[in-house]
A and B are shown apart, each in its own frame.
Chain A
Amino acid sequence: MADLTTEFLGITTPNPFWLASAPPTDKEYNVRRAFEAGWGGVVWKTLGAEGPPVVNVNGPRYGAIYGADRRLLGLNNIELITDRPLEVNLEEMARVKADYPDRALIASIMVPCEEGAWKAILPRVAETGADGIELNFGCPHGMSERGMGSAVGQVPEYIEMVTRWCKKYYDRPVIVKLTPNIADIRKPATAAKNGGADAVSLINTINSITNVNLDTMSPEPSIDGKGSHGGYCGPAVKPIALSMVSEIARNPDTHLLPISGIGGVTTWRDAAEFMALGCGNVQVCTAAMTYGFRIVEELATGLSQWMDEKGYASTREVVGRAVPNVTDWQYLNLNYVAKAKIDQDQCIKCGRCYAACEDTSHQAISMSPDRVFEVIDEECVACNLCVDVCPVEGCISMVPMQPGEVDPRTGKVVEAGYANWTTHPNNPAAKAAE
C-alpha cells in the first residue's frame, strides 16, 4: 500500500486527512478520538480572544438538504467559534499535542482586527506546542457582523495586514483560511501571500439558507420563528471549492502557494481531486459530522489503493497534477468532437436520457417502440446531459471521433490539429493563426 505520509508546511502527518476547524474539533475528547481513529491532523475549533467566550444559540444550529434516501448533500450552520474559555482550550491543546506528536495540531484563531489582539493571543497559542495557526477569515455568519471572519476575508487589505501581524508575532506556519463569499478568490489569496502567509486553506462556508419552513414561514434552522443565513458546506459545495482552489493554483501570483483543500471532501476520490488541483492536503468536516470519525479508514485505504494503481509513491506526486489542465474556455480545443454512445447491454431502459435530450437539449436520442434508446449522431452535440442523468454509471459514454472522420451533425471532417476560439472565424476578435 502506498505510503500516505504527507508533509505540509514542514508538518509531517501520517496521512493528508485533517479535520477542519469546526464542531468535531472543539475539545480534547473529540480530538483524541479523532486521532485514535486515524486522522492525520486537526485544526482546532476557532479560538477567540481572552475574556468571556462567545455564546451560541440554544436552538437548532444546522440545516440540511438531502438527496435520495435522505443522503445528506449539504449542511448549513449558524454556530459561532468556540464558546469555551480560551484557557480551557489552550490547556487541552497542549495536552493533546504532547500525547500525539506525530499528528498535526493547528490552532484556528479569530480575534478583532487590532494588532494588539493578535499580539496577545499568539504567544499563548505558541506555548501549547501547536504546529501552526489558521486565521479564520472565513465564517460568514454571526462573527462577520462583529467585523471578524468573512468580514475580514472580503477585504484583501485586511487579510494582508493581519497576516503580517501574525508572521511578526508567531514563528510557526501561518495558514489563511479564505471565504468563498467573494467575487474573485485570487484577490484574497494574493493578499495572504503578500502578507507572508505560508499557505491558504479554502473554502470556508458559503452564505446560505437551506430551506424555509412553510408552516411558520421561518428560514431553517429556525430560532423562535426567525432564521439567519448560515455557512453552507458538504458534498454540494465541492465543485465550488475545486474551482476556487484551481484558480489559486494556476494564478501566476499565487502559483506554488501551498493550499489546504476544504469543501465537501467525503470520499478518498474527493481528496485526490483536491490534491490533483494543487492542495497539499485536505480538511474534512461535514463527512465526519455525517458519518463519524471512522470514514478516515475509507479515505486512507481508497487513496492508497488508487495511488498504487497509478504508481504514485507519495502524495507529493499527486499534488498539482491536474493544474496544467485547467484552462480558460477560450483555449478549449474546438476541433475535438465526441458523440454519446449508449451501451445497450448496460441500459436498463428507464428513458431518462431520452426525456432529458428530447425535452431540454438537442433531440439526439431516439426511442423505439420496444424501448431501445439510441443516439442520433446527426443531432448529438456531445453535451453530456444523457451521461449525467443516466442512473447506471458507465452505460453512456462520450466517444471521441477520430481525425478524418466526418461529423454527421456538421458534415465537416474532424481535424487533427488544435484550434480554439481565439482563432475561430466566428470570433470578431480572432487573430489570424500564425
Chain B
Amino acid sequence: MAQGQTAPGIVAGRLSSEDLTANFGDLHPAYAPHEAAVAADRCYFCHDAPCVTACPTDIDIPLFIRQIQAGNPEGAAETILNQNILGGMCARVCPTETLCEEVCVREVAEGKPVEIGRLQRYATDTLMAQDIHPFTRAAPTGKRVAVVGAGPAGLACAHRLAMLGHDVVIHEAKPKPGGLNEFGIAAYKTTEDFAAREVDWLMKIGGITMESGRALGDGLTLEALKAEYDAVFLSIGLAGVNALTVDGDDRDGVRDAVDFIAELRQAEDLSSLPVGRNVVVIGGGMTAIDAAVQSKLLGAENVTVAYRRSRDEMGASRFEQDLAASKGVKVMFNLRPVAVHGKGAAAQVELEYTRSEGGRLTGTGETLRLPADQVFRAIGQSLQGAPDALALDGRKIAVDDRGRTSLPGVWAGGDCAAGGEDLTVTAVAEGRDAAMDIHDALSGD
C-alpha cells in the first residue's frame, strides 16, 4: 500500500507504482509522424530566421523543419547534429520558450510558435532509432586531447575533436558519463535512459576513450594532463553547492537539491525514494523547480518554492513556473530564508519578506513560518576543484571567445567557464567551438 501524501516525515513509497510511472512519464511525448507533419507545415522558412539567431548552437532550424516537411527526418537530424551533437537532449531540455520559440514569428503573430523543440526531437529520435551515426572521422592526426568532465560541453568537444581526426580521452569523476544530462535535469524531461543512450550513440564516432573515477585534484593534475596530451579541455561543471548560511542549515532533512535530483535520476525504483510531506525548496532557478516538481510527483503533500526576488527576476522561465504551478507546487516570491527550526530534524522554515531597493535586496522584518520536514538548497552551484593556476573571471574560469583559458594549451567550456547561460545547449556550443579552436591550434603546429 502506498503511504499517501499525508504520512508524516520523510518517507518512501507515498504513491503507488502506477501513479509514479504516470507522474514521471514524458513531459512532452514524442510526436507521431502525423503530428510532426502538421507542426512542420506551420514553419514559414523565414529569411535569416530569428530562431536560428536565438539558438546558442545556431542550428539551421528552417532548413531542418523543411526537411521534415519534405519527408526527410534523417536529413533534418543531420542538419541539427552538425551544429549540436546533443541535439536529442537539447530538444528535450532546452528552455525553448526563452530561446528559439520565443522569437518564432508565429509566436509574434499568433502567440503560438512553431514547436521547434518537439520537431527537433522528432528528427533526432527518428535517426537514433535507426542506430545511425551520420558522422565519420577524418584521417588520424596523431594528436591527443584530454577532456576533463563528460558533461554536455565535454561530450560536444570530444565528438568534434574525434570527428576532426584527433584522439580524445575523457576523464570523468563519476562512474557514468553525461554530467547534468545524466545526474541533473528533471526525470520527466529525459525518460527511458535517454542521456545514457545518447552518450552511447555519440561514442560511435570512435576515437574517444572514456575513463572514470578520477577528477582534477583527485587523481588528476592539470600539469600531468598538459604533459601527456597535446591539449586539455576543462568541462568540470560546478561541483560545489552554495550553503544557505542560516541557522539550522545542518539539520536533518536539509539537503542539496542537486543530490536529490541525482538520486532520483539514478533510482531504479521511484517508490524507494523518500520525500517529505512538507517540502520547501529555497531558490529560483531550474534546479529549484526540478526539485520541487519532482517532490510533488513523488507524493509530497505540500511543496513550496521560496525565491528571494520577484517573479520577473526568477531564473526559471515562466513556462517552468507554470509547469510547477500546474503540478500543485506553490511558488512564492520575495522571501528569503532566516532559519530552519526543529528539534533535531527540520520541522519549519522561517522566511523573511524582502523588497528590492535600487537593486539591493533588504528584509522587511516581516517573517513567515512554513512547515517543512524536508528543505532543499537550490541557491546555486559553484566552481570546485579548478586548478589554482587558472585565472578566474568572477567565480568561474576565465576564457576568451574561443574558449582559451589563461594557460596555453588549456581550454574550458560549459558551466565552469565564464560567459553564457548555464544551459545544456550553451555548454554544447562552447565545447564545439573550443574543439574547433583546439583543432586550429593543433593543425598549426
Contacts and interface: CB of A to CB of B under 8 A. Distances in A.
Nearest to A353: B47
B47 A352 contact: yes
A354 B46 CA distance: 10
A261 to B, nearest CB: 31
Contacts of B108: 348-349
Contact of B44 (A69, A352, A367): A352
A68 B65 CA distance: 13
Contacts of B44: 350, 352, 391
25 contacts: A68-B41, A68-B42, A69-B38, A70-B38, A348-B106, A348-B108, A348-B109, A349-B46, A349-B108, A350-B46, A350-B47, A350-B105, A351-B46, A351-B48, A351-B49, A352-B44, A352-B45, A352-B46, A352-B47, A355-B47, A367-B47, A371-B48, A371-B50, A391-B44, A392-B109
Contact of A69 (B41, B46, B47, B105): B41
Interface of B: 37-38, 41-42, 44-50, 105-106, 108-109
B72 to A, nearest CB: 12
Given A68-B41, A69-B38, A70-B37, A348 B105 contact: yes
A351 B104 CA distance: 12
A390 to B, nearest CB: 10
A72 to B, nearest CB: 14
Contacts of B47: 350-352, 354-355, 367
A348 B106 CA distance: 8
Contact of B105 (A68, A349, A354, A355): A349
B175 to A, nearest CB: 47
Contacts of A367: 47-48
Nearest to A391: B44
Contacts of B45: 352
Contacts of A348: 105-106, 108-109
Contacts, number: 36
A133 to B, nearest CB: 44
The listed residue with most A CB atoms (<10 A of its CB), out of B37, B38, B41, B46, is B46
B66 to A, nearest CB: 12
Contacts of B109: 348, 391-392
Interface in A69-88: 69-70
Contacts of A352: 44-47
Contacts of A68: 41-42
Contacts of A391: 44, 109
B129 to A, nearest CB: 21
Given A354-B47, A371-B50, 10 more contacts: A68-B41, A69-B38, A70-B38, A70-B41, A348-B109, A349-B46, A351-B48, A352-B45, A352-B46, A352-B47
A348 B114 CA distance: 14
Across the A-B interface, the 6 shortest Cβ-Cβ residue pairs:
A351-B47, A355-B47, A68-B41, A348-B109, A350-B46, A348-B105
A352 B309 CA distance: 42
A70 B37 CA distance: 9
Nearest to B49: A351
A24 to B, nearest CB: 27
A367 B38 CA distance: 30
A367 B49 CA distance: 12
A371 B38 CA distance: 27
A391 B109 CA distance: 10
A68 B109 CA distance: 18
Interface string A275-318: 00000000000000000000000000000000000000000000
B330 to A, nearest CB: 37
A394 B109 CA distance: 14
Contacts of A354: 47
B105 to A, nearest CB: 4
A413 to B, nearest CB: 35
A349 B51 CA distance: 12
Contacts of B50: 349, 371
A278 B106 CA distance: 40
Nearest to B40: A68
Contacts of B41: 68-70
A352 B109 CA distance: 15
A350 B105 CA distance: 6
A86 to B, nearest CB: 43
B226 to A, nearest CB: 42
A364 B48 CA distance: 17
Contacts of B49: 351
Nearest to B44: A350
A350 B43 CA distance: 10
Contacts of A69: 38, 41
B103 to A, nearest CB: 9
Contacts of B105: 348-350
Contacts of A350: 44, 46-47, 105
A351 to B, nearest CB: 3
Nearest to A392: B109
Contacts of B106: 348
Nearest to B38: A69
A68 B38 CA distance: 8
Nearest to B37: A70
Contacts of A355: 47
Nearest to B110: A348
A366 B47 CA distance: 12
A68 B41 CA distance: 5
Contacts of A351: 46-49
Nearest to B43: A68
Nearest to A346: B109
- Could you say which of A68, A350, A355 has the most chain B C-beta atoms within 10 Å of its C-beta? A350
Q: Which of A69, A348, A355, A367 has the most CB of B within 10 A?
A: A348
A392 B44 CA distance: 11
A391 B108 CA distance: 13
